Amino acid sequence: MKKLTYIGHSACFIEKDWDGILIDPFITGNPAANFDFKQKRITYIVVTHAHLDHLGDAIAISKATGAQIITVFELANYCMEKGAKAIGINIGGCLEFKWGSIRFLPAIHTSSNPDLPYGGLAASVLFDIEGTTIYHAGDTALMSEFALIGELYHPYYSLLPVGGYYTMDINEAAVAAKMLYSMEIIPIHYNTFNNIKVNIDRFVDLIEAQGQKCIPLKPNEYVEL
Ligand code: ZN
């Protein structure tokens, strides 16, 4: 069985017998997260950008497990300087694996942290896992690129930030969902902090009114891919 588990905020974990891919592993300090990486086999850690609620525990987990961080070039270099294993690709780049691919795509957002003034561009990421396509939008504003990503890759699942303030809000994320032509939408990046609180039932209604399915996963809930 291959599955995607929601950890909380924008963090999730894709696993199958071959590999475990952790995405934006903000675990320490994340009030929603209850995830023990030591219980999992983690081979890759995909990080969309350098903000600490996305880079999270990536460097520490890489050092503890040997998992490779996959992220944008400048941020990958920073991770390597800190002793992690990392692969630095860039927006538009794609890595091939025996089970599929990981493709870095645009996001409209910034990428830095107090220790890294410039982390390169922020990314969104498309996963092809044995033919199942999963798009993780990272942090982003609503952008016309969603239409092109939808046309080219029609991701089956899209994980979209909906919290507003730092990213698009529920109304804009519903427009993004339509542009992406996804069958199932998983909202992320909401309710972790006071300034990104949303009424998620309202988002579910918007998505269902468009004929798409919305799955607001609670931390540690998963979908079978
Ligand atoms: Zn961010």
Q: Tell me how far the alpha carbon of residue 108 lies from the centroid of ligand 1, in angstroms.
A: 10
pTM: 0.97
Q: Tell me how far the alpha carbon of residue 97 lies from the centroid of ligand 1, in angstroms.
A: 27
What pLDDT digit, counting tens, does each position of 158-167 carry?
Answer: 999 999 999 9
Q: Tell me how far the alpha carbon of residue 113 lies from the centroid of ligand 1, in angstroms.
A: 10
- Percent of the chain's residues with pLDDT above 70: 100
Q: Tell me how far the alpha carbon of residue 142 lies from the centroid of ligand 1, in angstroms.
A: 14
Q: Tell me how far the alpha carbon of residue 132 lies from the centroid of ligand 1, in angstroms.
A: 26
Q: Tell me how far the alpha carbon of residue 49 lies from the centroid of ligand 1, in angstroms.
A: 7
User: What are the structural domains of the chain?
Assistant: 3-224 (3.60.15.10)
* pLDDT at residue 32, rounded to an integer: 87
Q: Tell me how far the alpha carbon of residue 82 lies from the centroid of ligand 1, in angstroms.
A: 20
Q: Tell me how far the alpha carbon of residue 149 lies from the centroid of ligand 1, in angstroms.
A: 21
Assigned token pair, 203: 């988002």
Q: Tell me how far the alpha carbon of residue 98 lies from the centroid of ligand 1, in angstroms.
A: 30
* pLDDT at residue 28, rounded to an integer: 96
**DSSP line for the chain:** --EEEEEETTEEEEE-SS-EEEES---TT-TT----GGGS---EEE-S-SSHHHHTTHHHHHHHH-PEEEEEHHHHHHHHHTT-EEEEE-TT-EEEETTEEEEEEE-SS---BTTBS-----EEEEEEETTEEEEE--S----THHHHHHHHH--SEEEEE-B-SSS-BHHHHHHHHHHHT-SEEEEES-SSSGGG---HHHHHHHHHHTT-EE--PPTT-EEE-
Q: Tell me how far the alpha carbon of residue 54 lies from the centroid of ligand 1, in angstroms.
A: 7
Q: Tell me how far the alpha carbon of residue 166 lies from the centroid of ligand 1, in angstroms.
A: 7
Q: In the sheet where 222-224 sits, what is the strand order? A: 85-89, 68-72, 44-46, 20-23, 11-15, 3-8, 222-224
What pLDDT digit, counting tens, does each position of 80-109 carry?
Answer: 999 999 999 999 999 999 999 999 999 999
* pLDDT at residue 17, rounded to an integer: 84
Q: Tell me how far the alpha carbon of residue 71 lies from the centroid of ligand 1, in angstroms.
A: 14
Q: Tell me how far the alpha carbon of residue 84 lies from the centroid of ligand 1, in angstroms.
A: 21
Return left, alpha or beta for 210; rule: phi > 0 is left, psi -120 to 50 is alpha, else beta: alpha
Tell me the residues surrounding ligand 1 (ion) with CB < 5 Å.
51, 139
CA distances from 72 to 75, 118, 163, 182, 193 (A): 6, 11, 24, 25, 26
With a cut of 70, list the residues of the chain below it in pLDDT.
Answer: none
- Sequence-distant (6+) residues with CB within 8 A of 92 are 104, 105
